[in-house]
Structure 1
Amino acid sequence: MKIPSIKGFDQEALEKYVKNTGWLMLARVGSMAIKILASIALTHYLSKEQLGILNYPVAFTTFFTAAAALGVDGFVTRELLRNPEKKNQLLGTAFVLKIIGGLVILPLIYATYTIVNNYKTIDAPLIFIMTVSFTGLIQSFNIIDSYFQSRTQGKYIMRVQVAGNLLSAAIKVTLILIGASLQWFVIALLLDAVLLAGGYLFIYQKNGESIFKWTFKSDIARFLLKNSWPLAFSAILVSIYLNIDKLMIEYYIGSGALGNYANAVQFAEAWYFIPVAITASVFPAIMNARRDDQVRYQKRMQNMYDLMVWISMAIAIGVTLTAPFIFRIVFPAEYYSGAHVLSINIWAGIFVFLGTASGQFLIAEGYTKLSMLRTAMGALINITLNIFWIPKYGIAGAAFATLIAYACSTFWILLIPKTRHQGIMMLKSLLLITLYQKLKGSTDQPK
């Protein structure tokens, strides 16, 4: 298939990496569509309160599962690009580290729930929380994703994710048809992680590789932990300002409000696969350009920012215009107020897209601590605004808090001299300056 040329973009690079991104996109689009259909079915089966209780264990444990991942996935991808001959050592060492992390978080989750529940009674029972907490252990197999990303083999990721989500949706629909209780849907959340891990393991083995060749190396473990801990801490902070609003909504206004909010927000966050798929696909090209040609490196970063803005802005406009209509067509009446939340939250996607792209720059340059600090600021702003706005404005206040926190976090790099140029590049994309220049046929804009 011939990829159409775009002014200001390197055609050869576009051909290679758009095709790989296409596989990732197909996987994520399929996954998104399947998840949305299953979610719509759930809103017709569960009440707002039950949906809120179902979402709470994920929001509660996500901080711990992010910590269990240790931030090694993206770093292992980078190291596989640099040292492909160390594949088995890198994957094996990262796998063992993630297994240990998954085991360590189990008692921490139990203790945290006990403390919080003594202070304020949580609607979701402990068994729900602990069931979902095993996701942190199972996700250890997801390190295989790093291997396929380093080889720009997005088609394998596509197969795993689409198959896993098809099975997951089938399970949830089956539970609805047989009239299953809420606890079975909680078990299905854990099963989602099992299906994904099993899929990665199967496709890895099918491609002639074997996890039995993986080896643990203590020196590599020290290297990974030393270099990836800022990414791990950053992942925890990301999970905080992605999910703290849900916990605070449950605390301030109850599970019913959480169910309504979570239902709306998942439609806004469903699009977040796009920047992840794009950056995962082009990251090898960015790293190669950084090594060989600094000018091309900057051009590719600018083009990535441009694409992120164009795509996210189109999505935001389209969803804002159609959200009220969609909610009234597909959801029960008790969820209609979620349309307003979606119309607000969808605009945060612009900053998520740009933040994901600039995050690749921070990794490529080794600015992992700056990435951590940027995320910390976003989390702090989100928590602070939620404290004041959720009691006053309800779930709409949480949506506005998320929007502002994402914007501040993304453009925080403007305050740092060595990253300010990237912030300016993002601003040029956001203000459509580079779009105007490309349309005018400028030849001096980044590719």
Structure 2
Amino acid sequence: MGNMKLKFSEKMSSFLKNSGWLIGERVFQMIFSLVIGAITARYLGPANYGVINYGMSYVVIVGVVCSLGLDSIVIREIISEPKKSGEIMGTVMVMRLVTSIVSIVILFIFIRAIEPNNVVLQWVCLLESISLIFKMYEIIDLWFQSKLKSKYSVIAKCIATFSVGVWKILLVVNNASVEWFALSVTIEAMICFVFIGILYLRNREYKFIFKLSIAKRLIKMSYHLLLASLMVVIYTRIDKIMLGIYMSEESVGIFSAAVAIADLWIFIPLAVINSARPIIIESKSIDKETYEKRITQVYALVIYMGIFASLAISIFAKLGVTILYGKDYIKAVPPLLIIVWGSIFSILGAAREVWIVCENHNKYLKYFAGMGALMNVLLNLLLIKPFGIIGVAIATLISQFVVAIIAPAFFKDVRVSLKHMFNALCLKGVFERK
């Protein structure tokens, strides 16, 4: 019993340190990126800032396909079979490389087809999409997460963030065109790839090896998560695409400013979720009571962080938009007041994914996200013309609520997750000692 308590204490210590590194990274990135992002947005103006975000929406959707929905599964596999880490990671990296190259080509052809006269958008999408190749570093990042050693990837990401910040300042000083700013995404991914790769080589336990049998097994396990992730990114990104199609690139820029401020707090719960994931996965096979308590604790953190952050952002919305982005973006305030509350439901969904993977209920994720995507598209079609950006914000909020709360109620196997969330909201069992 004493050994178990000691082991748990060591795990919690590693968890807290790992979370500290992740939160520290996000604080640095938030402050630095917020300042640089605001300077960039002011320089580009709503229209060009909209082009950057419009193109990035397509790239993010394609990027989900490249990720293959494997994040939680890779961590679980590495924890359960540590001696096969090299084979698992090597296989996934080859899979990511192939899908990235194919996706870049398909995306460029697609943009050329739907926007044949918008050469600037074509170049922006191409330059941003090249980042998909270098984002293979995310696989190594998952290995660091599984070992609760995120400090290594944090160091690399902070170096990349700082470097790209300096790059953007130089672009502003030299009156660079919007295409050069689009290249920033790829430069940041490339720097992360190089530094995280170097740090992994200094800490690695096994060499990368590709195995077709592992690739087949991982695809079989992950396609539910892939479809779910694709649906999620559609209902979270389709708003900008539809704004670009039905309104203007300027409206995309204004809405993007609102989203950037609304998401300021998200880095904290995401860091907690990423650090808690290995502990929750491991506790599943050890003790059911502890396992369910950990899940409820994560939900509670997400809910109350979200309420506090959303209230704070709502109170200072107008002041924040004016200071950061200037009067050209003042129309971002009304949608900001709406979408900031949807962020809570979005993060609850991310937290529940850990439980979904542990319980092997992956197949339901695509149904949740599919319902959200369908709801978002339909609401956007109904609301975007009469209400503009505000209509898009309402559609986003309702869709996120549907995915997090309404959709799981339709499926018996996952309905218990709503009970965990309700217990978390009431703080039931969150502070009890086992």
TM-score, normalization: structure 1?
Answer: 0.91
Question: Shift in Å at residue 415 of structure 1?
Answer: 1.9
Structure 1 residue 301: Cα displacement? 0.9
Residues 208 and 144 (structure 1), Cα distance of their counterparts in 2 relative to 1, 3 Å cut? closer
Question: Does structure 1 residue 205 correspond to structure 2 residue 201?
Answer: yes
Alpha-carbon shift at residue 269 of structure 1 (Å): 2.4
What amino acid is the match of 1:193?
Answer: A
Aligned residues: 426
CA distance in 2, matches of 1:269, 1:196: 22
- Where in structure 2 are the equivalents of 1:74-89 lying within 5 Å? 74-89=72-87
Partner of 1:352: 346
Could you tell me which residue of structure 1 aligns to residue 222 of structure 2?
228
SS at match of 2:360: coil
Which residue number in structure 1 is paired with residue 3 of structure 2?
A: none
Q: Which residue of 2 aligns with 1:25?
A: 23
1:34 Cα deviation after fit: 1.3
CA distance in 2, matches of 1:407, 1:163: 36
Q: Which amino acid in 2 is paired with 1:127? A: W
Mapped to 1, the partners of 2:131 and 2:323 lie a distance apart of 34
Cα distance between partner residues in 1 of 2:10 and 2:147: 18
Report the alpha carbon displacement of residue 283 of structure 1 after superposing the two structures with TM. 1.2
What TM-score, normalized by structure 2, do the two folds share? 0.93
Q: 2:217 and 2:357 mapped to 1: Cα distance?
A: 15
Asked if residue 170 in structure 1 is aligned to residue 166 in structure 2, the reply is yes
Q: CA deviation at 1:270?
A: 3.5
Which residue, out of 402, 418, 426, partners 1:423? Answer: 418
- Deviation of 1:13 after TM superposition, in Å, equals 5.9
Pair 1:90 & 2:84 matched: no
Task: Judge conservation of contact 1:164–1:195 (CA < 8 Å) in 2.
Answer: yes
| Equivalence for 2:143 | 147
Does residue 241 of structure 1 match 2:235? yes
Q: The residue matched to 2:415 in structure 1 has which SS?
A: helix
Structure 2 distance, partners of 1:11, 1:140, is: 33
Matched, 1:106 2:99: no
- Aligned equivalent of 2:323: 329
Q: Does 2:181 correspond to 1:188? A: no
Which of 21, 38, 41 aligns to 1:40? It is 38
How far residue 189 of structure 1 moved from its aligned partner, in angstroms, is 2.0
DSSP-derived class of the 1:46 partner: helix
SS of aligned partner of 1:276: helix
User: Are the counterparts in 2 of residues 65 and 135 from structure 1 also a CA contact under 8 Å?
Assistant: no
Deviates more, 1:412-421 or 1:82-91: 412-421
Rounded Cα–Cα distance in structure 1 between residues aligned with 2:184 and 2:410: 44
Q: Name the CA distance, whole Å, in 1 between partners of 2:32 and 2:115.
A: 34
C-alpha deviation, 1:145, in angstroms: 0.7
How far apart are residue 151 of structure 1 and its match?
A: 0.2
Q: CA deviation at 1:123?
A: 7.2
Once the two structures are superposed, what CA deviation does each residue of 1:353-404 show, in whole Å capped at 9, x if it has no partner? 2111111100111111111211111111111111111111111111111111
Structure 1 distance, partners of 2:298, 2:59, is 32
**Alignment correspondent of 2:5:** none
Secondary structure, counterpart of 2:210 in structure 1: coil
Q: For residues 195 and 264 of structure 2, what CA distance do their matches in structure 1 show? A: 21
In structure 1, list runs of 5 or more residues that go unmatched: 1-9
1:128 alignment counterpart: 124
Distance in 2, matches of 1:369 and 1:394, equals: 35
Alignment pair present for 1:280 and 2:274: yes
- Offset from partner CA, 1:322-377 (integer Å, 9 cap, x none): 11122223332111111222221111111112111111100111111111211111
The one-letter amino acid of 1:305's match is Y
CA distance in 2 between partners of 1:107 and 1:254 (Å): 26
Report if the CA contact (8 A) 2:63-2:132 is conserved: yes
Q: Distance in 1 between matches of 2:179 and 2:349?
A: 36
The percent identity for this pair of structures is 27
Q: 2 CA distance for matches of 1:369 and 1:171?
A: 43
Runs of 5+ unmatched residues, structure 2: 1-7
